[in-house]
Amino acid sequence: MRIVFSIVVAVSLTFVLRSSLRHHPYRYYLGAGAISLLLGFWTVPSATTWLDTYILDLFRRGTLATALWCIVMFAGALPNGKLKRIWMPLRGTLSILAAILTLCHTITYIRIYASPVARPSLPMSGLQIVAIHLSVFLLLIMIPLTILSFPTIRSKISPKRWIAIQRLAYVFYLLLYVHIMLLLMPSATTGHLDAQISIFTYSLIYLSYFVLRIKKAVASRHGRSGCAASLLES
Ligand code: HEM
């Protein structure tokens, strides 16, 4: 359910803030960094359930970051049109923002699993252990791709080499889907409606992306599309 709400928030932000996101990205990077450190390292005392579920958890559970990743994915796969025109120029900024916000999620769970107090009360199933190990690869891909998204760094690398490195984004998207499925499936199979809605929503997003991406590849093969941009930019 959180992912549905996160997508509504993320898409709305790209419409409302698109001009300042393009012209003042560093303000958003600093803001996201502050939020990630604050919510990652500090537990808000007596936060109401509403505040927890619809605000704080969007950051701590990684869903707002993942909603931004989804926009980064779709902008490249969408056919030419209004949505693509709005999202394409924002892709570098959104992927850097998503990475900074993902740090909140990572810090939150590393603190939980590393803490000698919390960990014993959280027996990890085999699936969870696999998902957590997978997340290490997610981070190992996310960090270099994010660094390469900064225009100053990108300008130092040949466009051909930059696009080749960005192909790792496909591995990232796939591992992210597996990470989420492995972690949400146990509660979904025991009838947890929230997890079932989330699994359905993530699968629908990935399936639609897959179809759009294939359509684009077929169209470009038939020479109708032709734009060569990076994967995180494609
Ligand atoms: C690039 C890095 C990562 C991304 C984008 C990411 C994203 C996500 C997303 C979207 C979910 C599902 C949340 C939901 O819909 O409720 C999730 C769940 C989870 N992630 Fe990650 N994750 C990342 C790295 C990590 C790392 C490094 C850890 C652990 C140290 C971790 C631990 C977890 C856990 C425990 C859950 C299950 C939470 C629950 O039960 O709701 N993740 N992650």
pLDDT in tens, 85-102: 999 999 999 999 999 999
* Ligand 1 atom having least distance to the Cα of 63: 10
Res. 55 pLDDT band, cuts 50 70 90: confident
Q: How many Å lie between the centroid of ligand 1 and the Cα of residue 86?
A: 28
- Predicted local distance difference test score (pLDDT) of residue 228: 45
Residues 189-201 have a mean pLDDT of: 93
Residue 182 scores a pLDDT above 90: yes
CA of 62 to the centre of ligand 1 (A): 6
Instruction: Compute the distance from residue 135 Cα to the ligand 1 centre, in Å.
Output: 8
Q: Is 60 in the pocket of ligand 1 (CB under 6 A)?
A: no
Give the mean pLDDT of 60-83.
Answer: 94
Q: Is 179 in the pocket of ligand 1 (CB under 6 A)?
A: yes
Whole-number pLDDT of residue 229: 44
Contacts of 170 (CB under 8 A, 6+ apart): 231
The overall average pLDDT reported for the chain is: 88
Burial of 136 (0-12, 13-18, 19+ CB in 10 A): exposed
- Measured CA to CA in angstroms, residue 211 lies from 11, 136, 156, 204 at distances of 20, 28, 34, 11
Atom of ligand 1 nearest to the CA of 98: 5
Write down the pLDDT at residue 122. Answer: 57
Cβ of 213 below 6 Å from ligand 1: no
**pTM for the full model?**
0.89
Q: Is the pLDDT of residue 125 over 90?
A: no
pLDDT band of residue 111 (cuts 50, 70, 90) is confident
- How much distance in Å is there from the Cα of 61 to the middle of ligand 1? 6
How confident is residue 127, by pLDDT bands cut at 50, 70 and 90? Answer: confident
The pLDDT confidence band at residue 4, using thresholds 50, 70 and 90, is: very high
66 ligand 1 Cβ < 6 A: yes
Q: What is the pLDDT of residue 118?
A: 57
